[in-house]
Amino acid sequence: MPTITFIDPQGQRYDIEVKTGETLMMAALRRGVPGILAECGGACSCATCHVYVDHARVGPAGPIEKMILSGVSDLQPDSRLSCQIVAKDALDGLEVRIAPSQG
């Protein structure tokens, strides 16, 4: 079970164990990480779970995710939607920064 560190816009860190196969969004909701709103419930349609991550570790966004992200005000090259990142053992130690618009 990988441990993922969520970092809110103020720098507060939340180290949580994430079940393999669970999305980072669901894990954050389950553990009460502030700033992950997930208004669409993980359907990749609202961008209220916008985070910044190392693409070398999680891979790039897919076409639908890119379209949803194109509407966020604080888009960065490392932007992703946490509802689209599935936990696997190789992500152990990953740092996920919550976008300022979320916090």
pLDDT tens, 81-100? 999 999 999 999 999 999 99
Contact in structure between 78 and 9 (CB atoms under 8 Å): no
Mean pLDDT value across residues 8-15: 96
Could you give the CA distance from residue 2 to residue 74 in angstroms, rounded to a whole number? 28
pTM of this structure? 0.93
Which tokens in the block code for residue 5? 């560190």
103: pLDDT strictly greater than 60: no
pLDDT digits (tens, 9 = 90+) for 24-66: 999 999 999 999 999 999 999 999 999 999 989 999 999 999 9
Q: Please report the sign of the dihedral spanned by the C-alpha atoms of residue 86, residue 47, residue 4, residue 63.
A: positive
Q: Which CATH number fits domain 3-98: 1.10.10.10, 3.30.70.20, 2.40.160.20, 3.10.20.30?
A: 3.10.20.30
pLDDT for position 101:
80
